[in-house]
């Protein structure tokens, strides 16, 4: 807070998230082209670890549901310029997409998880396209890029799906050894596409990358 007061910005949220990921055993590696500061990233979502990894390794902010639970968690998220949305508020989706567009224009990339929740790790959930309308509202220098978060063979182990938050956290914290994770920053998408085409293109790019990195046939069926 003192750094932000004196300089107007602070690198401490990124340092905090990076240190937290390291303490849990995560060893991230970022591959792909350099990240433009004005970028909307579209990522798969596997675990609460995603926040520590992406925030620490790339310095991104996040689009999050508005009910994060404990007030301390909410305060910590605020320090990294988290943008809150109510996914159930379909009537307000346009205003939320506009807010995401404005956030993507800031000096910090921002990540959107279009699955809307964490998945099991062995396949992608359907991508919701409504908030991707942000691409149509954003300034011309904003890039839209898919991001594939790859936990490798440990993906199903760390996946948070159909399990209470407490049980998942205790299980992950009790895990022995380190956890190598690759963050694939993929080529930017054509912003002139409509939101459904963007969602489809992002999902296909992420699915192909994850399948290729694991040397196996795709486990990510086409979205219906």
pLDDT digits (tens, 9 = 90+) for 110-146: 999 999 999 999 999 999 999 999 999 999 999 999 9
CA distances from 113 to 10, 42, 167 (A): 25, 6, 23
- For residue 101, tell me if it sits in a domain: yes
- Alpha carbons within 13 angstroms on the beta-carbon side of residue 200 total 8
User: Cβ distance 138 to 98 under 8 Å?
Assistant: no
Task: Please give the residue range of the domain that contains residue 179.
Answer: 2-213
pLDDT of residue 91: 73
CATH code, domain carrying 106: 3.40.1130
Compute the distance between CA of residue 135 and CA of residue 120 in angstroms, rounded to an integer: 28
pLDDT of residue 12: 83
- For residue 220, tell me if it sits in a domain: no
State which H helix or E strand residue 15 sits in.
helix 12-24
- For residue 221, tell me if it sits in a domain: no
Q: What domain count does the chain have?
A: 1
Compute the distance between CA of residue 146 and CA of residue 186 in angstroms, rounded to an integer: 5
Quick: pLDDT tens for 60-97.
999 998 877 667 888 888 888 899 998 777 777 899 99
Q: Residue 23, Cβ neighbours under 10 Å: how many?
A: 10
User: Cβ distance 41 to 111 under 8 Å?
Assistant: yes
- For residue 224, tell me if it sits in a domain: no
State pTM to two decimals: 0.90
- For residue 223, tell me if it sits in a domain: no
pLDDT of residue 217: 52
User: From start to end of 78-168, where are the E strands?
Assistant: 83-85, 110-112, 143-150
3-state secondary structure of 220: coil
């Amino acid at each position: 807070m003192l750094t932000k007061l004196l300089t107007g910005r602070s690198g401490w949220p990124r340092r905090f998230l990076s240190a937290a990921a390291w303490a849990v055993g995560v060893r991230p590696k970022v591959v792909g082209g350099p990240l433009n500061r004005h970028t909307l990233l579209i990522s798969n979502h596997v675990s609460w670890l995603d926040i520590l990894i992406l925030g620490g390794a790339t310095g991104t902010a996040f689009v999050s549901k508005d009910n994060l639970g404990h007030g301390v968690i909410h305060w910590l998220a605020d320090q990294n310029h988290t943008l809150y949305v109510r996914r159930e508020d379909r009537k307000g989706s346009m205003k939320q997409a506009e807010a995401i567009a404005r956030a993507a224009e800031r000096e910090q990339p921002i990540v959107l998880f279009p699955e809307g929740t964490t998945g099991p790790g062995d396949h992608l959930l359907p991508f919701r396209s409504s908030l991707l309308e942000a691409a149509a509202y954003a300034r011309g220098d904003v890039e839209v890029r898919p991001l594939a978060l790859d936990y490798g063979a440990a993906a199903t182990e760390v996946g948070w799906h159909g399990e209470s938050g407490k049980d998942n956290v205790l299980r992950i914290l009790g895990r022995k050894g380190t956890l190598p994770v690759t963050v694939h920053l993929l080529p930017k998408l054509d912003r002139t596409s409509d939101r459904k085409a963007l969602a489809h293109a992002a999902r296909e790019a992420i699915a192909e990358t994850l399948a290729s990195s694991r040397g196996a046939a795709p486990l990510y069926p086409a979205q219906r």
